[in-house]
Amino acid sequence: MSVSSDQDSGLRSSAETAVDAGSLTMEQAIANLLQRQDLSLRYYAAWWLGKFRVREPAAVDALMAALDDQDDRAPDGGFPLRRNAARALGKLGDRRAVPGLITCLHCDDFHVREAAAQALEQLGDTSCVPTLTALLTSQVGKSSGLGLDQPYDSILEALGTLQATEALSAIQPFLDHDIPRVRYAAARAMYQLTQEASYGDLLVAALQGSDLQLRRSALMDLGASGYVAAAPAIAQALAENSLKLIALQGLLDHQLQGDRSPVTQDLALSDTACDLLSLMDTLL
Amino acid sequence: MTLPLSPSSNAQALIQAVEQATSPVALLLAVRSLAELRSVDAIPTLIQVLGYNNPGAAVAAVDGLVNLGDLAAPVILEQIDGYNYGARAWAIRALSRIGHPDALDTLTEAARQDFSLSVRRAAAKGLGTLRWAVLPPDQQRPVQMQTLETLTAVCGDGEWVVRYAAIAGLQALAAVLEPADPAVADIQRLLQQQAATDDTLAVQARALWALQAIAPDSNA
């Protein structure tokens, strides 16, 4: 998982800053997003609606409309408001946003495509799988060295989470990609799709790397993968406890979902869940 | 090498190695050696390392400070970094693991109002595991009740991991109270509420686990 760009700002905003929700109301945020005079107000409102999970249909409508925005342009030609709107829609859980987000996968702006792929992953709607897969197969291996042609890591992660087993053969070549975090995303997706430990172990091995940023990336991928055998290696990785706790929380969530009573949906604590809790305690 | 080095010159050499480390790995190894020396001379340097933004080295420095225990606690309390939240989180972690009740006020303030979640989290956990027995018997219960009040408030923190740490702290606090103490029942009620209503699954699970530890039979 990429710890740069959106992921990073997400981590930072949830990790170490206090956000004053009282600075805006829901109605004001929606109004700010709908008005056309002040671009920075629109940009902030889109972020705010996602951050505070405003699931009102009116908020979702305004954000969906913002996916087509033409006014807010970055110096690099990008669409800042579209990026924020796509990110927010991923957090609001309203699948009406899916078609608009799929359209965004063809936007000229790399970061819009990236935000859309991440949002589609969060929304859990598999109708985007063919489009995501097509983005992989059109460009395999053609990385410029300076950057990526496509947000491959986000695409791979989405395909893994969406259980897109039909994409396995398109994902597999990315295990050998030049860029480590793309390889990690491929390993994570392959694990999610096959449950084969060898793919999880690729990420465990990545925790031993010398670059802190890449260790952080591998931690986040392991947390999302649900590969519970990685827990001790996560706890021992040379990285911040905050990130290790998030990774272990990911494994725990996965485990708890599986442990729930099938009848009552009550929470039950298996031995594995207790082992994870006890590891997390050591990192507080 | 023919003459054995005196402990203090040995510490001096290892301190110098920490200060002159040129790579993250070299720093980590130097801090580990300094920490293993268990010398009070190392304390200021180990505290300094907490501010280097090198998580591996910080873990080693915290371990070194924790090994020095009550010798390190007053120095940490005096030198805690008000401006670098990363360093502050590691210092609070060290104080929490050392567990000297002199850290009570610092931990209480950190758990309630530090802006950094890693600081609040470490403080909440530490408040539950202070070594109350160090205090005169008549002082123990009042500060334990003060801690219960703090941790109850921290259970309403906006960050899941801070609530999680508060629950770990409450479990530890319940473990040192008499089972018949009404405060134990208060803690159980709080945990039941958290297990039922927290919006984060991991926090619900931690509360459930704490309830099972406090009263293994009644929560089967």
CA-CA-CA-CA dihedral for A218, A221, A225, A226, to nearest 10: 70
Q: Which of B121, B164, B205 sits opposite A267 (nearest CB)?
A: B205
CB–CB of B125 and A16 under 8 A? no
Percentage of the residues of chain A whose pLDDT score is greater than 90 = 75
Tell me: pLDDT of A277 over 90.
yes
Alpha-carbon distance of A85 to B42, in angstroms, equals: 52
Alpha-carbon distance of B141 to A74, in angstroms, equals: 60
Q: Which of B164, B201, B206 sits opposite A253 (nearest CB)?
A: B201
For the record, the structure tokens of A241 come out as 């406890």
* A245-269 average pLDDT score: 89
What residue has token string 């005196």? Answer: B6
CA distance B143 to chain A (A): 22
Tell me: pLDDT of A140 over 60.
no
What is the DSSP-derived secondary structure letter of residue A95? Answer: G
Instruction: Please identify every stretch of chain B with a pLDDT value under 70, giving residue numbers as ranges.
Output: 1-8, 217-220
Residues of B whose CB is below 8 A from A265: none
Largest CA distance in chain B: 67
- Quick one: pLDDT band at residue A103, thresholds 50, 70, 90? very high
Q: Which of A15, A18, A252 sits opposite B205 (nearest CB)?
A: A252
- Quick one: pLDDT band at residue A23, thresholds 50, 70, 90? confident
pLDDT at residue number B84? 87
pLDDT digits (tens, 9 = 90+) for A63-91: 999 999 998 998 888 999 999 999 999 99
Helices (runs of H) and strands (runs of E) counted in chain B: 12, 0
Tell me: pLDDT of A36 over 70.
yes
Tell me: pLDDT of A11 over 60.
no
pLDDT digits (tens, 9 = 90+) for A151-172: 999 999 999 999 999 999 999 9
Q: Is A284 on the interface with B (CB under 8 A)?
A: yes
What residue has token string 């710890």? Answer: A3
Predicted TM-score of the model (pTM): 0.84
Cα B111 versus chain centre, distance: 11
pLDDT at residue number B123? 96
pLDDT at residue number B9? 72
**Cβ contacts of B56 within 8 Å, gap of 6 or more:** A238, B24, B28
Tell me: pLDDT of A60 over 90.
yes
Mutate to test the interface with B, among A3, A212, A213, A284 (most CBs of B within 10 A): A284
> Average pLDDT of chain A?
88
CB–CB of A256 and B165 under 8 A? no
- Residue A229 has, within 13 A of its CA and on its CB side, a CA count of 12
pLDDT at residue number B2? 47
Cα A268 versus chain centre, distance: 27
Q: What is the ipTM for the molecules in this complex?
A: 0.86
User: What value, to the nearest 5°, has the Cα angle with vertex A119 and ends A157 and A2?
Assistant: 45
Q: Which of A15, A242, A277 sits opposite B205 (nearest CB)?
A: A277
* A251-269 average pLDDT score: 87
Question: Is the distance from CB of A157 to CB of A224 less than 8 angstroms?
Answer: yes
CA distances from A130 to A25, A58, A140, A155 (A): 38, 29, 16, 11
- Quick one: pLDDT band at residue A15, thresholds 50, 70, 90? very low
pLDDT at residue number A272? 95
pLDDT at residue number A267? 87
Alpha-carbon distance of A118 to A136, in angstroms, equals: 15
* A32-43 average pLDDT score: 91
